[in-house]
Amino acid sequence: GESVGLHLPTLSVQEGDNSIINCAYSNSASDYFIWYKQESGKGPQFIIDIRSNMDKRQGQRVTVLLNKTVKHLSLQIAATQPGDSAVYFCAERQRRVQGAQKLVFGQGTRLTINP
Amino acid sequence: ETGVTQSPTHLIKTRGQQVTLRCSSQSGHNTVSWYQQALGQGPQFIFQYYREEENGRGNFPPRFSGLQFPNYSSELNVNALELDDSALYLCASSSKPGHLFSGANVLTFGAGSRLTVL
């Protein structure tokens, strides 16, 4: 079935270190990928996106890498800060479902920052 | 610019009851999608509304239904509640219904409505 999975459910890093969150996706037809951050009591918040015709995209302190050969996506956060503590989801956009746009989310990785 | 607002934030129902959840989309957004997020899981697509009509549906039974109003706000209705319906229900708005959203048009999520079914 459809799924976007994650290699690790939890990740603990030291403040100031770089974090790498990984994600495996299953649908090779997906054309667009997004990373979301979800803090406790809040909805998912957009971090960064990447189209399937790209292999890397950089934002402020974040970089997303896409490897279509092995259907793998990663989110790199530079100089991790306490405010980065959250659950991170990757999501893939599948082709139209009856005209609609549908995102398939992974289970999520909880990122914890140690002082 | 206001974001996506949902109500109620929390509610408790018993099995067999019906529930209505409400969502006001972000200013300028005309498309609303609903997602169900079970505890410890990622959100799952329920359906999307555009121009007051359902524009696509995920793997949810017909007892999950919705409405979109002329002001683009939306409701999610769930009939004959089951214990497994306990979840966070997320509403997300976007400015385009189809496959063109990206960057500034990405889905903007509300904080959700936490439903507990006893």
pLDDT tens-digit profile of A33-50?
Answer: 999 999 998 999 999 999
Query: Are A98 and B98 in contact (CB < 8 Å)?
Result: no
A98 touches chain B (CB under 8 A): yes
SS (H, E, C) chain A: CCCEECCCCEEEEECCCCEEEEEEECCCCCCEEEEEEECCCCCCEEEEEEECCCCEEECCCEEEEEECCCCEEEEEECCCCHHHCEEEEEEEEEEEECCEEEEEECCCEEEEEEC
CA atoms of B11 and B7, how far apart (whole Å): 9
Query: Are A97 and B58 in contact (CB < 8 Å)?
Result: yes
Q: How many pairs of residues across A and B have Cβ atoms under 8 Å apart? A: 81
Which residues from B are below 8 Å from A49, CB to CB?
Answer: 102-103, 106
pLDDT band at A66 (very low <50, low <70, confident <90, very high): very high
User: What pLDDT is stored for residue B9 in this prediction?
Assistant: 97
Q: How far is A76 from chain B (nearest CA, A)?
A: 19
CB-nearest to B107 from A99, A103, A108 is A103
Substitution target in B24, B51, B102 with the highest count of A β-carbons within 10 Å is: B102
User: What pLDDT is stored for residue B51 in this prediction?
Assistant: 87
User: What pLDDT is stored for residue A1 in this prediction?
Assistant: 37
Query: Are B97 and A101 in contact (CB < 8 Å)?
Result: yes
pLDDT band at A2 (very low <50, low <70, confident <90, very high): very low
- pLDDT tens per residue across span A7-34: 458 999 999 999 999 999 988 888 889 9
- pLDDT tens per residue across span B60-82: 999 999 999 999 999 999 999 99
Torsion of CA A96, B32, A40, B38, to 10 degrees: -60
Task: Look at A19-23, B32-36, B94-98 and tell me which has the smallest mean pLDDT.
Answer: B94-98
Q: Classify residue B22 by burial, with Cβ atoms within 10 Å: 0-12, 13-18, 19+.
A: middle
Helix, strand, coil share of chain B (percent; to 5): 5, 50, 45
Substitution target in B5, B31, B55, B59 with the highest count of A β-carbons within 10 Å is: B55
Does A65 have pLDDT greater than 50?
Answer: yes
